[in-house]
Structure 1
Amino acid sequence: MDRPYRVVDYLIRSLHQVGVRHIFGVGGANIEDLYDAAHHCDGAVRAVVAKHEFSAAAMADGYARTTGRLAVAVSTSGAGAMNLVPGVAEAYASRVPLLAVVGQPPRSLEGRGAFQDTSGLAGSFDAYRLFSTISRYCARVDDPADLAAALADALTATRALPGGPAVLLLPKDVQQAVLADPPPIDELLTARRTPVAASAARERAADRLAELAGEPVLVIAGDEVARRGARAELAEFVAALDARVAVVPDGKDVFDNHDPRFVGVAGVIGHPSVTDALRRARLCVLVGTRLPVMARGGLDALLAGTELVCFGAEPAFSDPDTLHVDGDLRAELRAVTARLRAARPAPPSPARADLRFLTVPPFEGEGMRLRDAVEAIGAAVPEGATVIADAGNAAAGVIHWVATPRDGRFVVALGMGGMGHSLGAGIGAALGTGARSYVVIGDGGFLMHGMEIHTAVEHDLPVTFVVVNNNAHGMCVTREQLYYDDAYTFNEFRPTDLAGGIRGMFPTLPVTHARTPDELRQALVAHGSTRSPAVVCVDVSPREIPPFVPFLNHLDTVSPQGAPHDQPVVAVG
């Protein structure tokens, strides 16, 4: 039987034409027609149902960050739409290209007591106004004939500088409406495509960098390098400049962590070797990062006394007057690299940088040491894999002590810093890349969104969930210890047997409770040899101090060379 060609059919077909292969969401009455269209598209677009809309947005986020492709999250109206909000806000803060399609009640019922009414009529709140504050583009489509143009505008906005999410609000009756002869999406996108002009600051930046031939230079690279697919251009630029390289926490995979030029991670979870390199540098070049507090914490004094050049869509937070090269990142890096190579001979191969780590206080309490645990994880993760760190102490340990796998990816959501984000992001990354994801999450984040394990089991995805359990919100416990005299705690909880609980819920899922670093490493290697999900649980203590500069400064800890940590206390978290 011939089926009418509906708005939702056009939407699914158009998304497929621009490279979308998965949509992530949770169903409901006002989005079910989109799922129906996905069912009838002959498998071109796979609909993945999450346990919670926040996790659906996190899946799309992880998919986009690890592949560089557009990702799509969908939800129904009302509570479903509201659950999507923190995930879209993370994408907005982190400039992740994501399209959110949000169902709305039929137009005829809006303002007349519709269930889950968010039209802004008759005392209901206005979803359009809400989503407009956390998106690069938001449109409510009330006329089916307007859908094609709105979709093209939304897709264009996700990629236009600086990038980020777009939102389409679609009433149910609009989704069901029949389209007679809609224009192909590629034609509409071509008409909207405008080249990014070369930066007016390019020549000044190239001249200044050429003048400093042979002088020590530090490049701090960030997440925009990944979003713009500029890893190769960054590597060529760094080689031509003969610079040392640091990365920001959420851009940890943009430069080879095993390269001799690599000096570590910048910021509050960073390495003292970055401070050393910045202190020696005549000039610091920011590439694809604005240096938010998490990436510059402890470096402000040195940055204030160091000449800066910034390549990226947006100016640096640290100094708005910095020379800012704001064109297309790949094109600007290529052009300046060519100028440098023409102006100076190829530099010799660099000596390997001395990567120095923070020193945390010794701890003799119960459980595995955090460093031992995350180093066992690092030893087991293979080349090409994706490591996803959640918020909290476990993330601090992974960012500080685990190198990004060669040819792999590293994801941490620091735009909003939401606990539990990594669970969905790991699923999206596995679907997008086909490589195994290693999700490292604390018990706090797991207890928020851990049932996404069900999604991984349902789709038999190569995701290993490593749950680092201290029966606490560990970073909050540390703050109570350090800043509130350790006089009380709201953040330590009764013991939880997570491995036993997960094993009981999912009898076919491999679950290991590792009690030593060697058991942890062996379990990860064994589970990694399959194409199916697995869980490994590790017990640590909530009283152990993580590698987090503000905490260590508060304790006046000294570095391995005997010099005190010279970063001032930074207000984060």
Structure 2
Amino acid sequence: MLKELRGSDVIIECLLEQGVDTVFGYPGGAVLNIYDSLYKYSDKIHHVITAHEQAACHAADGYSRTTGRTGVVIATSGPGATNLVTGIATAYMDSIPMVAITGNVTRDLLGLDSFQEVDICGITMPITKHNYIVKDPAELADIIREAFYIANEGRKGPVLIDIPKDITGALMVYEKKEPKKVVNHNPEGINEEIAAAAELIKNAEKPFIYAGGGVVSADATEEMAEFVRKVDAPVSLSLMGQCALDNTKDCYIGMLGMHGTKTAAMTLSECDLMIVLGSRFSDRVLCNAKTFAKDKKIIHIDIDPAEIGKNIDVYSHVTGDVKYILAKLCELLPDMKHEAWMNTVMDWKKQYALRMVPIESEDEVLPQDVIEELDRLTDGKAIISTEVGQHQMWAAQYYNFKCPRSFASSGGLGTMGYGFGAGMGAKVGNPDRTVVNIAGDGSFFMNCNELSSLAKHKIPLIELVFENDVLGMVRQWQRLFYGKRFSQTNIERGTDLMKLADAFGVEGIRITKKSEIKPMLEKVLKCGKPCLVDVIINKDINVLPMVPAGADVSQPIMNIELD
């Protein structure tokens, strides 16, 4: 049915077509028409305003990662649009489907250095799958529909739509349409590639499975679990792939790479076939591309042909949808047994189990104890978001994820300030699940203003801050490689986080010793309100193991001598 609507109403109608019921954003002059329509449609679309546009973008990202739906963020022109850039780049690096809608000056003012005008399409071209500036009102609806399709087709990612203000105010004809179904068409010859991969797997005596975020993105975790069962092999997961497999399974041996486990490193060294699923071979995994899995047969399975052979040469590959590929492999493969190999790997797993050691006293708080207690109290079923730094690695090392889409962390861009917004988006999208953002105090001070967003919207997110008064990961590098010259990494701001929590109107809880960990976490998990947990830890606690940049991944540092 045809009807005449303002452009801003067309935008909202198109969002509803796509099943959108939640958007994140911040109003401003160039998007006043859109916000006027959001007011009219407030019974159909819930809008979450943050304290800063970057947090809104991260919230849309965290919403997408943990729900599997496309995140939507709205910002005004100029600084509103540029404040989205880091969030868009974060989503791009981690292949997260998101649609960013920005306003701009009216078409007659474009290119004149008008007030709050910026070429956001030019700025974001390298960090979006595609972007648009709408010049013709008749194209608005179809551009929005196409943006959602592109964001979700193939290797997923963010799309930006820049809309001049006069387009949002213009009258135009609108006709409702059903969304185009996303079908990842596998390339011709894929079944032959899958058959060849199956033969390699059948003939392997020491297979090793390594999976990344592509498995989660493709909703292929059930197929992965069946594949792991069939092959009977040890499994390592990338940072992005943390919830691709139940971490409590015996076959799971931890991460691989710079902060991976010694067990994963030894398994890589001794395997005869590495099966890589939905992972792009990041430099943080390879460490040294020239020595990584040298002389090993590698099967690389990924949806993006550009990733095949980009960072490392592989023996064989299958390019396509990992969900389809794993299902086909499971049809072709018999139930396999590698008892001797698995026993060897399990012995390594026991021998090289991770264990932090107290530095000053037996009752001091260790991040491992906090995260493992959080894991026990939530049965591994909470959604965990993180900032970037030592705490990020501790979360990946010590929380045993049992459910898919339970981890939101900036893997590729490494964005400090990401986790708080992402955690808010995750909680909005998953109101019945416990959501915890794990932060360091360095990252926390980049986004602590978002405590006001928690209080305003009554979002019961748990913000857990490891406070050590230093930029821990950078300081760790300074200790190892810069002669202990701790340049600008002792932050020591002197802020009382409990007073800060009170000022923002959220619950504040502090943990200062080991004996407080369980009772305080039990208290916060029962709180049901926005909560800031201040965990005081020693500044000299490091993330181990650690492979120095450019070193062989099989030779991690297992201990760091302190002063």
TM-score w.r.t. the length of structure 1 is 0.88
| Alignment of structure 1 residues 126-525 onto 2, 5 Å | 126-180=119-173, 182-186=174-178, 189=180, 196-198=185-187, 200-213=189-202, 215-297=205-287, 301-314=291-304, 315-316=307-308, 317-340=310-333, 344-345=334-335, 347=337, 353=346, 355=349, 356-358=352-354, 363-364=359-360, 368-406=365-403, 409-434=406-431, 435-507=433-505, 509-525=506-522
Q: The residue matched to 1:334 in structure 2 has which SS? A: helix
Residue 348 of structure 1, CA deviation:
8.8
Residue 30 of structure 1, CA deviation:
0.9
Q: The residue matched to 1:167 in structure 2 has which SS? A: strand
Unaligned residue ranges in structure 1 (runs of 5+) = 119-125, 557-563
Q: Per the alignment, do residues 39 and 380 of structure 1 end up closer, same or farther by CA in structure 2, a change over 3 Å counting? A: same
Deviations 1:492-539 (A, max 9, x none): 0235344333233134x2210111234233222222224322111011
1:291 and 1:405 mapped to 2: Cα distance?
Answer: 24
Q: 8 Å contact 1:386–1:405 — kept in the other structure?
A: no
Q: The residue matched to 1:186 in structure 2 has which SS? A: coil
2:188 and 2:527 mapped to 1: Cα distance?
Answer: 48
Residue 59 of structure 1, CA deviation:
0.4
Residue 285 of structure 1, CA deviation:
0.6
1:29 and 1:4 mapped to 2: Cα distance?
Answer: 24
1:426 and 1:50 mapped to 2: Cα distance?
Answer: 12
- Could you tell me which residue of structure 1 aligns to residue 561 of structure 2? none
Residue 369 of structure 1, CA deviation:
2.9
Instruction: Select which of 534, 547, 563 maps to 2:531.
Output: 534
Residue 408 of structure 1, CA deviation:
6.5
Q: 8 Å contact 2:70–2:99 — kept in the other structure?
A: yes
- Could you tell me which residue of structure 1 aligns to residue 14 of structure 2? 14
Q: 8 Å contact 1:138–1:167 — kept in the other structure?
A: yes
Q: 8 Å contact 1:216–1:281 — kept in the other structure?
A: yes
Q: 8 Å contact 1:545–1:551 — kept in the other structure?
A: no
Q: Per the alignment, do residues 267 and 202 of structure 1 end up closer, same or farther by CA in structure 2, a change over 3 Å counting? A: farther
Residue 212 of structure 1, CA deviation:
4.2
Residue 360 of structure 1, CA deviation:
6.3
1:348 and 1:286 mapped to 2: Cα distance?
Answer: 18
Q: Per the alignment, do residues 496 and 236 of structure 1 end up closer, same or farther by CA in structure 2, a change over 3 Å counting? A: same
Residue 552 of structure 1, CA deviation:
11
Q: Per the alignment, do residues 318 and 49 of structure 1 end up closer, same or farther by CA in structure 2, a change over 3 Å counting? A: same
- Could you tell me which residue of structure 1 aligns to residue 107 of structure 2? 107
Q: 8 Å contact 1:361–1:545 — kept in the other structure?
A: no
Q: 8 Å contact 1:461–1:531 — kept in the other structure?
A: no
- Could you tell me which residue of structure 2 aligns to residue 68 of structure 1? 68
Letter in 2 for 1:46: H
Letter in 1 for 2:258: V
Between 374-383 and 472-481, the greater mean CA deviation after superposition: 374-383
1:170 and 1:484 mapped to 2: Cα distance?
Answer: 48
Q: 8 Å contact 2:470–2:539 — kept in the other structure?
A: yes
% same residue: 24
1:150 and 1:422 mapped to 2: Cα distance?
Answer: 30
Q: 8 Å contact 1:209–1:241 — kept in the other structure?
A: no
Unaligned residue ranges in structure 2 (runs of 5+) = 559-563
Q: 8 Å contact 2:281–2:311 — kept in the other structure?
A: yes
Q: Per the alignment, do residues 488 and 65 of structure 1 end up closer, same or farther by CA in structure 2, a change over 3 Å counting? A: closer
Between 211-220 and 138-147, the greater mean CA deviation after superposition: 211-220
Q: 8 Å contact 2:153–2:184 — kept in the other structure?
A: no
Residue 567 of structure 1, CA deviation:
4.0
Q: 8 Å contact 2:356–2:368 — kept in the other structure?
A: no
Q: 8 Å contact 1:275–1:299 — kept in the other structure?
A: no
2:208 and 2:548 mapped to 1: Cα distance?
Answer: 26
Letter in 2 for 1:225: V
Between 488-497 and 533-542, the greater mean CA deviation after superposition: 488-497
Q: Per the alignment, do residues 480 and 287 of structure 1 end up closer, same or farther by CA in structure 2, a change over 3 Å counting? A: same
Between 93-102 and 349-358, the greater mean CA deviation after superposition: 349-358
2:73 and 2:84 mapped to 1: Cα distance?
Answer: 8
Letter in 2 for 1:335: K
Runs of 4+ in 1 over 4 A off after TM superposition: 345-352, 358-362, 405-408, 551-554
Letter in 1 for 2:321: D
Q: 8 Å contact 1:199–1:325 — kept in the other structure?
A: no
Q: Per the alignment, do residues 347 and 18 of structure 1 end up closer, same or farther by CA in structure 2, a change over 3 Å counting? A: farther
- Could you tell me which residue of structure 2 aligns to residue 546 of structure 1? 543
Deviations 1:115-146 (A, max 9, x none): 1122xxxxxxx322112221111110011111
Q: The residue matched to 1:95 in structure 2 has which SS? A: coil
Residue 474 of structure 1, CA deviation:
1.5
2:301 and 2:557 mapped to 1: Cα distance?
Answer: 27
Residue 19 of structure 1, CA deviation:
2.1
1:552 and 1:200 mapped to 2: Cα distance?
Answer: 38
Q: 8 Å contact 2:6–2:172 — kept in the other structure?
A: yes
Q: Per the alignment, do residues 565 and 241 of structure 1 end up closer, same or farther by CA in structure 2, a change over 3 Å counting? A: closer
1:89 and 1:482 mapped to 2: Cα distance?
Answer: 30
Q: The residue matched to 2:30 in structure 1 has which SS? A: coil
Q: 8 Å contact 2:8–2:34 — kept in the other structure?
A: yes
Residue 257 of structure 1, CA deviation:
0.2
TM-score w.r.t. the length of structure 2 is 0.90
| Alignment of structure 1 residues 52-131 onto 2, 5 Å | 52-118=52-118, 126-131=119-124
Between 297-306 and 238-247, the greater mean CA deviation after superposition: 297-306
RMSD in angstroms over aligned alpha carbons?
A: 2.8
Letter in 1 for 2:274: C
1:438 and 1:6 mapped to 2: Cα distance?
Answer: 40
Q: Does 1:51 align with 2:51?
A: yes
Letter in 1 for 2:99: L
Deviations 1:306-346 (A, max 9, x none): 10111111334442444221122211111121111xxx346
Q: Per the alignment, do residues 29 and 497 of structure 1 end up closer, same or farther by CA in structure 2, a change over 3 Å counting? A: same
Q: 8 Å contact 2:105–2:164 — kept in the other structure?
A: yes
Q: Per the alignment, do residues 291 and 551 of structure 1 end up closer, same or farther by CA in structure 2, a change over 3 Å counting? A: closer
